[in-house]
């Protein structure tokens, strides 16, 4: 009898893990649909469409790990999973009947889906290099209300990310607040339940992480990292923006994929990565910058634009920016 579980409840090992995660915050009987519906009914419908893909994604992960025969618009080799996840998220946007335009780093252009209130930007598989080693990866999205693409980050209506980790979590920001949900909470295997409401970055940051090659970092980055190391901040870097930023969101600190001497415009994609995460950082009381200007204020020249990206606790971001 000990092996039996209620219908719809998460299986044993996952159920125990979810229970541990749920200890982080109250309100676990509140579902994503209910919570987001208080913000905006259409947004709740769109987010439910995205989270409704999670079980399929989990099922496909083991069989779509091989390279595809294609590259994205940045010349990067795609995985089968990159292509498949792009297709299912674009289809979810189309099926919602709420999205007029969608753009993704896996596509070369903005796709017109017809009439709809929202424009959506996607990084369907953030951290794809982690798939082979079974490390953290996820999905990043941004939602614009009545805006055509390309668009400034300051005009975002909402943004968020899914993390496909030991448990699947969703973080979204809207209305100046950030909230976190976990799949399988409250005894419902498919539902996403609230675990953290109105998340704020801790007042004192504990962690830092920086991507790229140290020898190619611009001098300001090298000097600031040295300063953080002397302050005994702990290094965390996992190779996916969602995983690395999620650490900063919970423990506080500073994360960067910086300008490099051979790549002054950085690597992260403004629409698909930098702006959605900076939008969350600011809603949680933090900041995001290129070093020279606020990320969300950049007027993009194209949908494929990149930007040096520095996000985290506002005091740390301000200290870094003062070096320019």
Q: 3-state SS of the chain?
A: CCCCCCCCCCCHHHHHHHHHHHCCCCCCCCEHHHHHHHHCHHHHHHHHHHHCCHHHHHHHHHHCCCEEEEECCCCCEEEHHHHHHHHHHHHHHHHHCCEEEEEECCCCCCEECCCCCEEEEEEEEECHHHCCCCCCCEEEEEEEECCCCCCCHHHEEEEEEEEECCCEEEEEEECCEEEEEEECHHHCCCCEEEEECCCCCCCCCCEEEECCCHHHECHHHHHHHHHHHHCCCEECCCCCHHHHHHHHHHHCEEEEECCECCECCCCCEHHHHHHHHHHHHHHCCEEEECCCCEHHHCCCCCCCCECCEEEEEHHHHHHHHCCC
Among 144, 175, 196, the domain-final residue is 196
Say yes or no: 187 and 63 in one domain: yes
**Does a structural domain hold residue 7?**
no
The reply to whether 152 and 215 lie within a common domain is no
Residues 108 and 226 in one domain: no
Give per-residue pLDDT as tens, 83-104: 899 999 999 999 999 999 999 9
Residue 265 lies in a domain: yes
In terms of domains, do 98 and 171 share one? yes
> In angstroms, rounded to a whole number, what is the distance separating the alpha carbons of residues 92 and 50?
7
Confidence at residue 80, expressed as pLDDT on a 0 to 100 scale: 85
Tell which of 164, 196, 228 closes a domain. 196
Is residue 79 in a domain? yes
Residues 19 and 139 in one domain: yes
Structurally, the chain folds into a number of domains equal to 2
Residues whose CB is less than 8 angstroms from the CB of residue 313 and which lie 6 or more positions away in sequence, other chains included: 201, 202, 203, 204, 205, 248, 252, 253, 254, 286, 287
Boundary-marking domain end, from 145, 171, 196: 196
- In tens, the pLDDT along 101-138 reads 999 998 989 999 999 999 999 999 999 888 888 899 99
pLDDT value of residue 174: 99
Q: Is residue 1 part of a domain?
A: no
For residue 240, what are the domain limits? 207-321
Residues 42 and 121 in one domain: yes
Residue 307 in domain: yes
| pLDDT of 5 above 90 | no
Domain membership of residue 33 (yes or no) is yes
284 in a structural domain: yes
Q: Check which CATH number belongs to the domain holding 49 and give it.
A: 3.30.540.10
Residue 213 reports pLDDT greater than 60: yes
Q: Do 253 and 234 fall into the same domain?
A: yes
Identify the pLDDT of residue 29.
87
pLDDT at 222 over 70: yes
> Residue 283 maps to which CATH number?
3.40.190.80
Mean pLDDT of 217-229: 98
pLDDT of residue 20: 56
pLDDT tier, 199 (very low <50, low <70, confident <90, very high otherwise)? very high
* 82 and 231, same domain (yes or no): no
Verify that 183 and 239 share a domain, yes or no: no
Residues 245, 191, single domain; the answer is: no
Burial of 290 (0-12, 13-18, 19+ CB in 10 A): buried
**Residue 202 falls inside a structural domain:** no
**81 and 126 in contact (C-beta within 8 Å)?**
no
Q: Based on the fold, state whether residues 146 and 186 are members of the same structural domain.
A: yes
* Whether residues 247 and 157 fall in one domain: no
């Amino acid at each position: 009898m000990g092996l039996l579980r209620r219908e719809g409840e998460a299986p044993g090992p996952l159920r125990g893990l979810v229970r541990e995660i749920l200890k982080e915050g109250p309100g676990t009987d509140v579902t994503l649909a209910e919570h987001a519906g208080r913000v905006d009914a259409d947004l709740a419908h769109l987010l439910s469409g995205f989270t409704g893909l999670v079980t399929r994604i989990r099922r496909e992960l083991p069989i779509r790990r091989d390279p595809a025969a294609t590259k994205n618009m940045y010349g990067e080799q795609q995985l089968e999973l990159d292509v498949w996840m792009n297709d299912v998220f674009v289809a979810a946007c189309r099926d919602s009947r709420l999205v007029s335009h969608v753009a993704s780093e896996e596509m070369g252009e903005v796709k017109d889906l017809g009439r709809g209130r929202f424009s959506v930007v996607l990084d369907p598989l953030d951290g794809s290099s982690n798939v082979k080693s079974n490390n953290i990866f996820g999905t990043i999205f941004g939602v614009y209300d009545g805006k055509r693409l390309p668009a400034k980050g300051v005009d975002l209506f909402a943004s968020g990310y899914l993390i496909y980790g030991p448990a699947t979590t969703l973080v979204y920001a809207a209305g100046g607040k950030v909230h976190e949900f976990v799949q399988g909470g409250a005894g419902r295997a498919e539902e996403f339940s609230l675990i953290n409401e109105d998340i704020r970055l801790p007042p004192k940051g504990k962690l830092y992480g920086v991507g790229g090659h140290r020898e190619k970092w611009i001098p300001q980055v090298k000097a600031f990292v040295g300063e953080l190391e002397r302050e005994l901040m702990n290094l965390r870097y996992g190779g996916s923006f969602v995983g690395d930023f999620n650490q900063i969101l919970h423990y506080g600190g500073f994360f960067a994929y910086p300008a490099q001497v051979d790549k002054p415009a950085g690597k992260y994609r403004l629409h698909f990565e930098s702006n959605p995460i900076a939008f969350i950082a600011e809603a949680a009381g933090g900041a995001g910058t290129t070093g020279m200007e606020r990320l969300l204020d950049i007027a993009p020249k194209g949908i494929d634009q990149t930007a040096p990206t520095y996000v985290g606790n506002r005091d740390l971001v301000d200290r870094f920016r003062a070096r320019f």
